[in-house]
Each structure stands twice: as C-alpha cells, then as structure tokens.
Structure 1
Amino acid sequence: MSLDPTLVFELALLGLGSGFLAGLLGIGGGMLMVPFITYLMSARGVAPDLAVKMAIATSMATIMFTSIASVRAHHRRGAVRWDIVRRLAPGIVLGSMLGSLGVFALLKGSSLAIFFGLFVGFSATQMFLDKKPAPTRQMPGTAGQLAAGGFIGFLSGLVGAGGGFISVPFMTWCNVAMHNAVATSAALGFPIAVANVVGYVASGTRVAGLPAGSLGYVWLPALGVIALCSVFTAPLGARAAHGLPVKKLKRVFASILYLLAAYMLWKGLTTR
C-alpha cells in the first residue's frame, strides 16, 4: 500500500482534526482516528479484520505525540491534577499491557470494532445525560485509583484511544471539575499510549499480510503524517477548552462519540 499524495492529504487532515480534539476534549484523538484509519486502509485493499487492528494500534501510537502537545498547553493554565495522574498511571500501564499484549491479539478485528462502538456509545450517553454526582463524592484512595487506572488502561488497549472516554466521565463523576478532568486525561494519554504501543508491536510482529512500513500492528507512514500535523492543533484545542462552558463541552464530546460509534458498529457487523 503506497503513500500516495491523496492519502498523505487525507492523513494530514485527520492529524489536524484529531490534534484539535485531543486538546479540546482530552480524548487523545483516538475516537476520531480509529474509524477513519480503518476506512482508509480498507479502501486500499487491507483485509477488513487487519485494518481495524492496525487502525487501533496506529491511532494509539499517535497519542504519544498529541498528549505531549496538549498537556503542555493545559499545564500552563494550571489545569492538570498531577496528584490524580500519579495515582492512576501505575494501574494504567499494567492494564494497557494486559489489553494490548494479550486480549487484543486474540480477538478478531470485527469483534473489536463492535466492542469499540458499544462502549463509545455508552460513554456518549452518560455525557449527554449530564448526571450530577453526589456532592460529597470524591476520588477513591490509592488502591481504588490503581484499580480504576487498570480498567482505563485495559479498555484503551482494546479500542486504541487515550482513555479520555473513560477517565473524563470517571473524574467528573468524582466531582473533579470538567476542565481539570479534560486536562488530566490529556496527561494520562502518554503512559497509556507508550504501554499499549509496546504491546501492539510485540503482538503483531509475526502477523501475515501487514502492509509495507508496518512495525507490528503500527503503520509507520500514517503515524508520521498524523503525528506531525496533530502537534500543531493540540494546543489550539486546549485553548478552546478553557473558553467553553462545561455543558457545551460535554455535548460536543458526546455528539462526536455517537457518530464514530455508529460507524464502527456498522464496520464490525458487516465484516464478520
């Protein structure tokens, strides 16, 4: 599969859009990238089952770059809760390795696509309902946050996202302010991405039918183009996040997730 000018242009647009979303919503851009990379690879002859897996892995790899760009912008505004990052990160690394090295390699791409769609749809519904947490609820203790981090990392490894679609609702449910939750989620994207990419590379090394330029399940040409473009727009998204009201931010988040969940459900059901 050659990296023709049209594909480069499409990947560049995807990088610009996903970078902006990474900063705006703290979701690492994975919710946007996975459906589009799946489409682009399938349209160029990659087997549907493999296209889903490579889209998930490549999406996660780009988050290593977008998370750094967006978290710097959030940190300058003092929005990142580093105390939460320190408690969630160890569990995130363990959960990510379990998901990307073990379960991901065993599941079919169509099953991963369906799981992606269902879970993202559920996350979007929770955001749209905008349920108010009990005013006395707080983040759990160290053990509770270790367990929560493991859950976030594991699910992120299965769907190729930076964990914001789980960590943002979780933190707001624990009465962390929405803007702090988005910023903290952006910071969590880096350990999630690194741990998962190690797993994707190791589990995909001996897979047959990988296109040229692949490192395990990660497609390096797409990673290069998307990462290069996304680092320019991630700070713009972070700046916009601090200028929007909380409810509008949640609705934007949910609307995007519904659209992408629907596409991935369709993809999973039609490639079985």
Structure 2
Amino acid sequence: MSSVLASIDLTEIAVLVVSLLVTGAVAGFVAGLLGVGGGIVIVPVLYYVFTLLDMDEDVKMHVAVGTSLSTIIATSAMSMRAHWRKGAVDTAMLKRWSVAIVVGVIAGTALASSVKGPALTAVFGAVALIVSAHMGFSRPHWRVSDHPPRGFGEQLIAAGIGMVSAMMGIGGGTLSVPTLTLFNYPIHRAVGTAAAIGFLIGIPGTIGFVIGGLGAEDLPPFSFGYVNLLGLALILPTSMLMAPYGARAAHALPTRKLKLAFAAFLFLTGLRMLASSLG
C-alpha cells in the first residue's frame, strides 16, 4: 500500500478529517471531565479509522500510539501549567520519579517498535480492560497502603507506568492517578502530578516512535516515523479547546454515572481490540 489516501475520494477524505477533529474534541472533553488521558480515547479511534482506510496491520497500531503520544506533549503541558499555578504538582515526587519514568518510556518505545502490530493491540486491549474494571468497581476508600512506597518499589512503579503508558500511547493520568490514590495520595495532587508525568512520557515517547518508524513501509501520508502529522494537526486543536469545558462540566454532571459509561466503553473497546489481535 504505497499511499493510504490515494485510493479514496474527496468525500472519504472529508469524513476522515471530520472524524479526527471529533476524536480530538471527545478526547479533550473526556480528559477534562474524568481526569483520564485523552490517549485512552485517541488510540482506539485512530486504530478503527486506520482500519477503515485499510492500513497495513503491521503499522496501524504503531501509528495510532505514536500519534497519540505526540498530542500528549501539548495537552499535558497546558494541564500541568494550570495545576502548577494551584500548587497541585508534587515536585519532590517528580524529581524522584522522573529518571525511572523516562527509562520506562524508552524501554516501552523500544519494545513497541520491535513487536508486531497485533501484539501492541493486545497490550492496549488488556490494559484497557484493567482500567475499565478499576473505573467501574473501585471505591474511594480502597487503599493498598497509607503512603506511596519509597526506594526500589517506588522506582519500579514509576518505570512501569512509563513503559506501559508509552506502549499504549497514553499520558500519565490513566495509570498514575489510580495508582497514587491506592496509596492514599490526595486526589487533586495526584491529578496535578499526573499531568506533569504525562509531559515526561510524551516527549521521549514521541521521539522513540519517530525513530522506531523511520524507514517503515506502508506508512500513511504525512507521517514522520510512526507519528502522523495530519492526525496531530487535526486532533490537537480540538483536544486542547475542549479540555477546559470537560473540567468545568465535571462539577455539574453526575460524574459517577459518566465514569461507569466510560468504563463500559473501555471494556467493549478492550475486548474488541483483544479479539482483533487474535484474529
């Protein structure tokens, strides 16, 4: 497939453009509303859009993940700035976690670049099922410990969050917020710190997927490695535009019911992606 878009007409291109714009808007709104990273929405939507375009199975998940990571750089930077002004970013924890996170991201991008597309799809599907179960069944009082671990345990958690997040194309919030709250960490501080973690994941993750995709065959037009610049250009503006509206809506809408609905969406998405990876 020398060109994904060469064989489709202008109507189909218009549908693609609109779908990517809507993807960004929904991802930004959900990120602001529920405190999850937009990547958990962007990756599966891009995957299905690329499937409709008949993109090669070996690259479509890699491009979905790489493109999602590239959008996280700007959105997490904006979110981090807002939380920083409110004093909700734990700089001491960031200093302790930063190196381990980056090491985890590098390991995750290297592993993702070396595996086949279905394997990467399976990773996303499996973790999506875990995240959906946590969103659907967890309770605010659930705790593993009264405080986050220190030393090797803390570094292992940070590296694991970085590695899995990079392989899934998601920011820090989806994994780090529930992890920190399970260790009795204040929720607002967890969300603010997670925004900074997303920034730490986004930059090396994007670079890794660019390098890993250089020279890859059957990439869609406007791709730089595994990062599709067209997708980035269309998703990022609407995502950044809608994130503040989602944050405002969180104070006016029944968030618990919305989380259950989103957990159901993630559950079905995870099952479908696991099934497609096996098919």
Settle same-fold status: TM greater than 0.5: yes
Structure 1 residue 140 corresponds to structure 2 residue 178: no
Residue in structure 2 matching 1:112, options 120, 124, 129: 120
**1:73-152 mapped onto 2 (5 Å cutoff):** 73-100=82-109, 102-131=110-139, 132-134=141-143, 137-141=146-150, 143-152=152-161
Superposition misfits of 4+ residues, deviation over 6 angstroms: none
Tell me how far 1:176 sits from its aligned partner: 1.6
| 2:59 is equivalent to residue 39 of structure 1 | no
Offset of residue 10 of structure 1? 0.7
Partner of 1:55 in structure 2?
64
Q: CA deviation at 1:15?
A: 0.5
Q: Structure 1 residues 21-30 or 199-208, which shifts more?
A: 21-30
* Residue 139 (structure 1) shift: 1.6
**In 1, Cα distance between the equivalents of 2:206 and 2:25?**
21
Instruction: Give the Cα–Cα distance (whole angstroms) in 2 for the partners of residues 155 and 135 of structure 1.
Output: 21
1:193 has 2:205 as partner? no
Q: For the Cα contact (< 8 Å) 1:94–1:150, is it kept in 2? A: yes
Q: Which of structures 1 and 2 has the bigger CA Rg?
A: 2
- Identify the range of structure 1 (84-93 vs 30-39) with the bigger mean alpha-carbon deviation: 84-93
Indicate conservation of the 8 Å contact 1:61/1:197, yes or no: yes
- Determine helix, strand or coil for the equivalent of 1:153: helix
| Worse overlay, 17-26 or 89-98 | 17-26
In the TM superposition, residue 163 of structure 1 has moved relative to its aligned partner by 3.1
Separation (CA, whole Å) in 1 of partners of 2:194 and 2:149? 16
| Consecutive unaligned residues in structure 2, runs of 5 or more | none
Q: Which amino acid counterpart does residue 161 of structure 1 have in structure 2?
A: I
**Cα-to-partner distance string for 1:129-187 (whole Å, 9 max, x where unaligned):** 32534496102225443322111010111111113222111111011233332332222
Deviations for 1:77-104, whole angstroms, at most 9, x for unmatched residues?
A: 443333333332221111101110x211
Q: What is aligned with 2:274?
A: 265
Aligned to 1:176: 185
Instruction: Name the SS for the 2:24 alignment partner.
Output: helix
Q: Distance in 1 between the 2:258 and 2:177 partners?
A: 12
Matched-pair identity in %: 38
Mean Cα displacement is larger for which, 160-169 or 34-43?
160-169
TM-score by length of 1: 0.88
Query: Any conservation in 1 of the 2:145–2:182 contact (CA below 8 Å)?
Result: no
User: Which residue of 1 is the match for residue 168 of structure 2?
Assistant: 159
Identify if the C-alpha distance between structure 1 residues 205 and 137 changes in structure 2 by more than 3 Å, giving closer, same or farther.
same
Structure 1, unmatched stretches of 5+, are none
| Preserved CA contact (<8 Å) 1:92 1:152 | yes
How many equivalent residue pairs? 269
Higher alpha-carbon deviation: 5-14 or 171-180: 171-180
Please say if residues 133 and 263 of structure 2, whose CA atoms lie closer than 8 Å, have aligned partners that are also in contact. yes
